[in-house]
Amino acid sequence: MSTAPDAAAFVAALDRVAAAHPGLDPLEAALLAALDLGLPGDSRAFARTFGLEHALVLRALAGLAEAGHIAVLSRDARTQRTRYAMPDAVTPVVTV
Protein backbone atom coordinates (compact mmCIF):
# COMPACT_ATOMS: atom_id res chain seq x y z
CA MET A 1 0.00 0.00 0.00
CA SER A 2 2.38 2.65 -1.15
CA THR A 3 -0.38 5.18 -1.76
CA ALA A 4 -3.34 6.02 0.42
CA PRO A 5 -6.55 4.31 -0.63
CA ASP A 6 -9.43 6.37 -1.99
CA ALA A 7 -11.34 7.44 1.13
CA ALA A 8 -14.84 6.92 -0.30
CA ALA A 9 -13.98 3.47 -1.65
CA PHE A 10 -12.39 2.50 1.65
CA VAL A 11 -15.42 3.64 3.67
CA ALA A 12 -17.73 1.69 1.33
CA ALA A 13 -15.58 -1.43 1.70
CA LEU A 14 -15.47 -0.94 5.47
CA ASP A 15 -19.27 -0.72 5.57
CA ARG A 16 -19.57 -3.95 3.54
CA VAL A 17 -17.16 -5.80 5.82
CA ALA A 18 -18.78 -4.50 9.00
CA ALA A 19 -22.22 -5.58 7.76
CA ALA A 20 -20.95 -9.04 6.83
CA HIS A 21 -18.98 -9.53 10.07
CA PRO A 22 -20.64 -7.49 12.85
CA GLY A 23 -18.45 -9.01 15.59
CA LEU A 24 -15.17 -7.63 14.25
CA ASP A 25 -13.46 -4.74 15.96
CA PRO A 26 -12.86 -1.64 13.78
CA LEU A 27 -9.19 -2.42 13.07
CA GLU A 28 -9.96 -5.99 12.02
CA ALA A 29 -12.72 -4.70 9.75
CA ALA A 30 -10.33 -2.14 8.27
CA LEU A 31 -7.76 -4.84 7.48
CA LEU A 32 -10.39 -6.90 5.67
CA ALA A 33 -11.71 -3.81 3.87
CA ALA A 34 -8.21 -3.08 2.57
CA LEU A 35 -7.99 -6.63 1.19
CA ASP A 36 -11.48 -6.24 -0.28
CA LEU A 37 -10.20 -3.23 -2.22
CA GLY A 38 -7.35 -5.31 -3.58
CA LEU A 39 -4.67 -3.56 -1.57
CA PRO A 40 -1.64 -5.72 -0.78
CA GLY A 41 -1.74 -7.50 2.55
CA ASP A 42 1.34 -6.15 4.29
CA SER A 43 1.19 -5.30 7.99
CA ARG A 44 3.90 -2.62 7.96
CA ALA A 45 2.47 -0.86 4.91
CA PHE A 46 -1.03 -0.92 6.43
CA ALA A 47 0.25 0.50 9.73
CA ARG A 48 2.21 3.23 7.96
CA THR A 49 -0.65 4.15 5.59
CA PHE A 50 -3.19 4.50 8.39
CA GLY A 51 -0.84 5.93 11.03
CA LEU A 52 -1.15 2.98 13.40
CA GLU A 53 1.28 1.17 15.65
CA HIS A 54 2.53 -1.97 13.92
CA ALA A 55 1.95 -4.01 17.09
CA LEU A 56 -1.77 -3.18 17.01
CA VAL A 57 -2.01 -4.30 13.40
CA LEU A 58 -0.20 -7.55 14.25
CA ARG A 59 -2.60 -8.20 17.13
CA ALA A 60 -5.62 -7.65 14.86
CA LEU A 61 -4.11 -9.93 12.20
CA ALA A 62 -3.61 -12.68 14.78
CA GLY A 63 -7.29 -12.49 15.70
CA LEU A 64 -8.36 -12.57 12.05
CA ALA A 65 -6.09 -15.54 11.31
CA GLU A 66 -7.36 -17.43 14.35
CA ALA A 67 -10.96 -16.86 13.19
CA GLY A 68 -10.09 -18.02 9.67
CA HIS A 69 -10.77 -14.65 8.03
CA ILE A 70 -7.23 -14.33 6.64
CA ALA A 71 -4.32 -16.59 5.80
CA VAL A 72 -0.83 -15.54 6.88
CA LEU A 73 1.50 -15.97 3.92
CA SER A 74 4.80 -15.04 5.55
CA ARG A 75 6.28 -13.32 8.57
CA ASP A 76 9.74 -11.78 8.82
CA ALA A 77 11.30 -13.02 12.05
CA ARG A 78 13.28 -9.82 12.64
CA THR A 79 10.77 -7.08 11.73
CA GLN A 80 7.53 -9.07 12.24
CA ARG A 81 6.31 -7.72 8.86
CA THR A 82 3.44 -10.04 8.02
CA ARG A 83 2.02 -10.70 4.59
CA TYR A 84 -1.55 -11.95 4.49
CA ALA A 85 -4.43 -12.61 2.10
CA MET A 86 -8.01 -13.78 2.05
CA PRO A 87 -8.05 -17.57 2.59
CA ASP A 88 -9.66 -18.25 -0.80
CA ALA A 89 -6.91 -16.25 -2.54
CA VAL A 90 -4.18 -18.56 -1.23
CA THR A 91 -3.05 -21.40 -3.43
CA PRO A 92 -2.87 -24.52 -1.28
CA VAL A 93 0.49 -26.18 -0.97
CA VAL A 94 0.36 -29.70 -2.40
CA THR A 95 2.57 -32.21 -0.64
CA VAL A 96 3.43 -35.49 -2.26
- Give residues with Cβ within 8 angstroms of 68, minimum separation 6: 87
pLDDT per residue over 66-84, tens digit each?
A: 999 999 999 999 999 999 9
17 pLDDT more than 90: yes
Query: Angle formed by the axes of helices 43-50 and 26-36, to 10°?
Result: 110
Overall fold of domain 7-89: Arc Repressor Mutant, subunit A (1.10.10)
Residue 96: the pLDDT is 42
Domain boundaries, the chain: 7-89
pLDDT per residue over 45-70, tens digit each?
A: 999 999 999 999 999 999 999 999 99
Query: How far apart, in whole angstroms, are the C-alpha atoms of residue 55 and residue 34?
Result: 18
Mean pLDDT of the chain: 88
Residue 88: the pLDDT is 83
Count Cα neighbours of 96 within 13 Å in the Cβ-side half-sphere.
Answer: 0
